[in-house]
Amino acid sequence: MITTKNLVRSFKDGARETRVLKGVDFVAKEGEFIAIMGRSGAGKSTFLYQIGLLDDPTSGEIIIDGQNTHTMSIAERTKFRLEKFGFVFQDYALLPEMSALENVALPLLMQNMSKKDAYKKSAEALKKVRLENRLNNLPSQLSGGEQQRVSIARAVAHEPKILFADEPTANLDNESSHTVMTIFQELHKNGQTIIMVTHEEEFARLAEKIVRMDDGKISADA
């Protein structure tokens, strides 16, 4: 489903060049739940943004569903993300002026779904994350755990092929973190491909496969 070949990402700061990814080769199959672990600065989030098509590699290849993403235009990448990916960010990344329902409905509306259908599907997605009573609440009226569940509902409402999660439990208390991970496990059971970056061993162990990164490379794949 996703293959990367010798993926390199470096950042320039004046004359100084910092290589964050140093030739990553990676494979994720359909339906897998992969946890990417590593110490801070190992390059795990940078790698996630690369395979999530949020950033361009310096060199190397990313092949998703047999399609080399290197040749895609910005608009094609945006379309690809809309139709095939779902994202869960560490800080929830909800739009503050929109209710939970509206936040979840937005990607569906962008896929040209009618407002009625989008709202119906969004309400179902929010029900799955046990937020059926919070549909019309703004993010500021929700707890951190609830906001993260809205974020998950938004990421999966349009049934994406791959769900990317960047440290989804980092800002949550223990109880909320477990709730989020339980939802991920349920999604995985239903066949959802999930690629999650985490630094918490306890949650990484809930994944089907753990990929460890160190100094911009994959050091272990188990």
Sites of contact with another protein (CB under 8 A): 49, 54-55, 74-75, 78-79, 81-83, 85, 87, 89, 93, 95-98, 102, 106-107, 109-110, 112, 138, 154-155
Q: Write down the least CB distance from residue 174 to another protein, Å.
A: 27
If the CB atoms of residues 15 and 75 are measured against another protein, the closer one turns out to be 75
Q: Write down the least CB distance from residue 140 to another protein, Å.
A: 10
If the CB atoms of residues 78 and 143 are measured against another protein, the closer one turns out to be 78
If the CB atoms of residues 55 and 173 are measured against another protein, the closer one turns out to be 55
If the CB atoms of residues 71 and 73 are measured against another protein, the closer one turns out to be 73
Q: Write down the least CB distance from residue 6 to another protein, Å.
A: 21
If the CB atoms of residues 27 and 82 are measured against another protein, the closer one turns out to be 82
Q: Write down the least CB distance from residue 8 to another protein, Å.
A: 16
The closest of 2, 35, 1, 21 to 211, measured between CA atoms, is 35
Q: Write down the least CB distance from residue 144 to another protein, Å.
A: 17
| Distance separating alpha carbons of residues 36 and 107, to the nearest angstrom | 26
